[in-house]
Amino acid sequence: MSRELKLPSLNKIMIAGNCTWDPEVRYTQSGAAMTRFGIASSRYYREKGDSSDWKEETCFVNVVTWGQLAERLGDQLQKGSAVLVEGRLQSRSWEAEDGQKRTTIEINADRVQVLDRRGEGGGSPAYAGGSSENAGGGMPSDDLPF
């Protein structure tokens, strides 16, 4: 009897950052809404032994949403908005104009919370939850972050 170690498979990501460009809302041939935008998430640290200067490391990630979530984000999100994104990593390949095969990894978001909207002077966060499986709307009360 073979004893293989089977590790669980998990593909889940949560990331907070700022939107790097206004979302692009498009529709598939079947009419499904899709929104694509980018976020920048920074971490701040000090080098070991250097207690004076803080360093910044920024990660840029593309995000894609589908369905009602995509439509809502097209109205709520703009460049500079602070967002919290929850979803899974997904790889995508295509052939570029130069004939080369390109591959990218992006976040396929299930939930996006707009933490602020630039130019609106603060206010309470706007929630744009949902997914293609659960495109019904807002955040269930048992999922509230407080």
Domain with residue 121: its CATH number is 2.40.50.140
**141 belongs to a structural domain:** no
The verdict on residue 29 lying in a domain is: yes
Q: Report pLDDT digits (tens) over 85-129.
A: 999 999 999 999 999 999 999 999 999 999 986 545 444 444 555
Indicate whether 31 belongs to any domain: yes
Q: What is the pLDDT of residues 25-52, one digit of tens each?
A: 999 999 999 999 999 999 988 887 777 7
Q: Is the pLDDT of residue 20 over 80?
A: yes
Domain total in the chain: 1
Whether 139 is in a domain gets the answer no
CA-angle at 71, arms to 112 and 41, nearest 5°: 30
With respect to residue 98, please indicate whether it lies within any of the assigned structural domains: yes
Q: What is the mean pLDDT of residues 44-62?
A: 86
Reported confidence tier of residue 142, pLDDT bands at 50, 70, 90: very low
Q: What percent of the chain has pLDDT over 70?
A: 78
Question: Residue 138 falls within a domain, yes or no?
Answer: no
- Is residue 137 situated within a structural domain? no
Q: How many CA atoms lie within 13 A of 100 on its CB side?
A: 3
Note whether residue 1 is domain-resident.
no
Calculate the average pLDDT of the chain: 82
The confidence score (pLDDT) of residue 33 equals 94
Nearest to 37 by CA among 58, 23, 27: 23
Domain boundaries, position 106: 13-46+54-129
Higher pLDDT, 126 or 146: 126
- Percent of the chain residues topping a pLDDT of 90: 60
Going by their DSSP bridges, the two strands 55-66 and 101-114 should be labelled as parallel
